[in-house]
Structure 1
């Protein structure tokens, strides 16, 4: 091949490559489809019964207040007692969709609908973490995102256990706040 032919071939290749890159750049980006929450790997005790489906997945980030109080039926002894939670609930994209607070434990959507629940089961979630939890939901107050929710699971826990600091009769009444994070998975009848 002559130098003229090689130059022409190189020019044609460059134009073709540029056209191909331009076409690829104008294509819509692929949307990553994250699968819905799955109960695989959870202990049976905290699995939602068949006949329900996930309606909302949230990440709760917040804190739990503990208070040093007299230990029940143990005069002269004290222990850290769970006082209540407060967390912001966000969807998987990070947008706030509600809050969690108590007592009583209450999950509230930004639309004003809210639910309370009764604990059905817990299971260990690792050292330093609150346990996994399954609750059965009471009928919602208000119409909105919480209407029809049957169960809530607390999974993917980080932190939240009672403080390791001293709790004794001398420190009775002292309060401490502990940070935590958990996924709250909301289920409705299928």
Structure 2
């Protein structure tokens, strides 16, 4: 697969909001490439401006995101995951703010780059040709999502342990980078104004990247008022990631969370 490049403007990203909204969204791995399914996401360095009076902000005008199909993801046991919702170990017992640690700065940059990666992934409209609504419908909201597909380790019909899909968790952003919808179990989509729709799958197509969740067309139960009022269909397009590793799980009821990106289009 040929590498695909895109440029994302970082000037408008509020790093503090980014940390608040995304700290629990991704298993960040410091110093190692991020894998989305079998796709490796290489993130170029992003400059960070630090101030003793406030949390760091993204200073770079833009950053290049390179998404290229490479080797399969390493097993979970081969990487060290970092939880940056806790203070960095090298700052415990000191007066400095946790947000000023080098580790946290790098994770802020990584979070911003992941945020941008969803916007720079190429569209594959032709691959979603079979996902048109069965009746005329007009797009009213197009969003880019980043989040997790959540699985549980359960016994299948053959009494073998395997990952079983449970529910999605994702944040949906409009073209300006503003959070507009939260996606969760049901599946459901809830706008910030409280309007909410649930969906029922009508059709699916293969994901646009190897090892990705499928693209979907869903019928929606329309909300009466608000941002999602009158929405009758939801499309999940341009998916990347979200599938469990090929290796089987070994502990019953264990939970696995696998990052994914997608576009969600809401139609009336």
TM over 0.5: yes
Q: 2:204 aligned to 122, 125, 149, which one?
A: 122
CA drift at 1:143: 1.6
* Other-structure match for 2:240: 158
CA drift at 1:45: 2.7
Q: Structure 1: where are the runs of 5+ without partners?
A: 1-37
Q: Structure 2: where are the runs of 5+ without partners?
A: 1-122
Stretch of structure 1 that moved more, 38-47 or 111-120? 38-47
* Other-structure match for 1:31: none
Answering whether residue 245 of structure 2 is matched by residue 135 of structure 1, we say: no
After TM superposition, the structure 1 = structure 2 runs for residues 70-81 of structure 1, keeping only pairs within 5 Å, are 70-72=155-157, 74-75=158-159, 77-81=160-164
TM-score (norm 1): 0.71
Q: Which has the higher relative contact order, 1 or 2, with Cα contacts under 8 A spaced 6 or more apart?
A: 1
2: CA distance, partners of 1:158 / 1:115:
23
After TM superposition, the structure 1 = structure 2 runs for residues 1-190 of structure 1, keeping only pairs within 5 Å, are 40-72=125-157, 74-75=158-159, 77-102=160-185, 104-125=186-207, 126-140=209-223, 143-168=225-250, 171-188=251-268
CA RMSD after TM alignment: 1.8
SS of the residue 1:164 aligns to: coil
2: CA distance, partners of 1:129 / 1:110:
28
2: CA distance, partners of 1:42 / 1:128:
16
CA drift at 1:68: 0.7
Q: After TM superposition, which residue ranges in structure 1, 4 or more long, deviate above 4 angstroms?
A: none
